[in-house]
Amino acid sequence: MLYLDANATESPRPEALAAAARAMALGGNPSSMHGQGRLARRALEDARDALARRFGAAPADTVLTAGGTEANALALHGFAAGRRILAGATEHAAIRAFPHTGIPVLPDGTLDLGALAALLRDGPALVAVMAANNETGVLHPLAEVAALCRAHGAHLHVDAVQAAGRIAIAPGWDSLAISGHKLGGPMGAGALLLRPGLHPAALVAGGGQERGRRGGTEPLPAIAGMAAAARAAPPSHLAGLRDAIEAGLPPGVIVAGQSAPRLPNTTQIVMPGMAAERQVMVLDQLGLCVSAGAACSSGKVAASHVLAAMGFSGSAGCGIRVSLPWDAGPDTAERFLAGYREMAARLLRKVVR
């Protein structure tokens, strides 16, 4: 099998597996006062320090959560009082679940800065913009977004779940969400990093953990694994593999957002007229694991809101996402392209018949 679905879950990093196992073996609860609890507390604070340092926040301003969805929800719940939420049209469901006004994107998938500026003139806002899109890998112009937010006194929340660990993230955000399993750590860990002086209202009430900002015992093994994964250097060979894939595609297919700056590991390939679900199923039979647009929790595939927002109206349900894991081998492009051509031939034969 060839795993090409890193944006759903990154391949596990061995250092993350080892760190998670070590943390679990400690056995204590970080909130306990005894020696074993203090060991767990130290492991938790070491992980917090590493994450804070890696992503540019103070440890005291780093709230540990049980995932990226929760980190995003904490920001939107915690900072939205008295503000309208403005969210990019291609945001993940974790953001789109909150009532919001959409900020359109340009046909290349990047945020329409003129539209954002106009919306910001209408009053206090919380702006939620992803650093990198999970389906296309398109990067938004975060430095410009941050400057606009600063000029209008808006809170800027950045969903960095796909960008973290893969590319440098522009400073200027007020809050930033990351997720452990997108870094190569375990599922069930995330963090919300904050600009100093910001205190979100807690989303989960409980025993006062995380300085009252997130109740509940911290998932220490997953957090230790996330921190170990975050320390790993980003791979440097993925853009070359991605480009080789795109260069070898048959005529008639379209790479969404190809002209925009993108994550090095992601390509969204649209085959007009061919439902993404069918493409994914045949590729799966051929041993290739890719996604149809976003991996939907229910396993169902809907037309992609990302492609629709970029203007692919008739073929918004025809894109497959190939997302290379950090450990993708040198023969990845060749193997993918062989499978892709075979998939296209099989499906087109059925259409002709």
State how far the Cα of 149 lies from the Cα of 140, in Å rounded to an integer: 14
The answer to whether 185 contacts ligand PLP (rule: CB under 6 A) is no
Q: Which residues are CB-contacts of 32 (< 8 A; sequence separation ≥ 6)?
A: 38, 40
d(CA 22, CA 12): 16
For ligand PLP, the closer CB: 18 or 296? 296
Q: Which residue's CB is nearer to ligand PLP, number 90 or number 332? A: 90
Q: Which of 12, 190, 219, 264 is close enough to bind ligand PLP by CB under 6 A?
A: 190
Cβ 6 to ligand PLP, closest distance in Å?
Answer: 11
261 exposed, middle or buried (CB, 10 Å; 0-12, 13-18, 19+)? Answer: middle
The answer to whether the CB of 149 falls within 8 A of the CB of 113 is no
Binding residues for ligand PLP restricted to 217-246, rule: CB under 6 A: none
CA angle 310, 316, 318 (to 5 degrees): 135
CB of 42 to ligand PLP, least distance (A): 25
Does 69 contact ligand PLP by CB under 6 A? yes
| Part in contact with ligand PLP (CB under 6 A); list of ranges 34-42, 154-162, 311-319, 329-337 | 154-162
- Segment interacting with ligand PLP, rule: CB under 6 A, options 156-164, 209-217, 280-288, 331-339: 156-164
Residue nearest to ligand PLP (CB): 68
Residue from 12, 67, 186, 264 in contact with ligand PLP (CB under 6 A): 67
DSSP readout, 131-166?
Answer: SB-TTT-BBP-HHHHHHHHHHHT-EEEEE-TTTTTT
Stretch that binds ligand PLP, among 111-119, 155-163, 276-284, 324-332 (CB under 6 A): 155-163
Q: Does 94 bind ligand PLP (CB under 6 A)?
A: yes
Contacts of 321 (CB under 8 A, 6+ apart): 5, 7, 134, 135, 136, 266, 267, 268, 290, 291, 292, 293, 294
Kindly name the residue from 149, 289, 296, 318 that is annotated as catalytic. Answer: 296
Check if 149 is active-site.
Answer: no
Within 13 Å of residue 269, how many CA atoms lie on the same side as its CB?
24
**Is 255 a residue that touches ligand PLP (CB under 6 A)?**
no
Taking CB under 6 A as the criterion, which residues in 117-136 touch ligand PLP?
A: 130, 134
- Residues 54, 175 contacting (CB under 8 angstroms): no
Binding site for ligand PLP (CB under 6 A): 67-69, 72, 92, 94, 130, 134, 159, 161-162, 179, 190
**Which residues are marked as active site?**
296
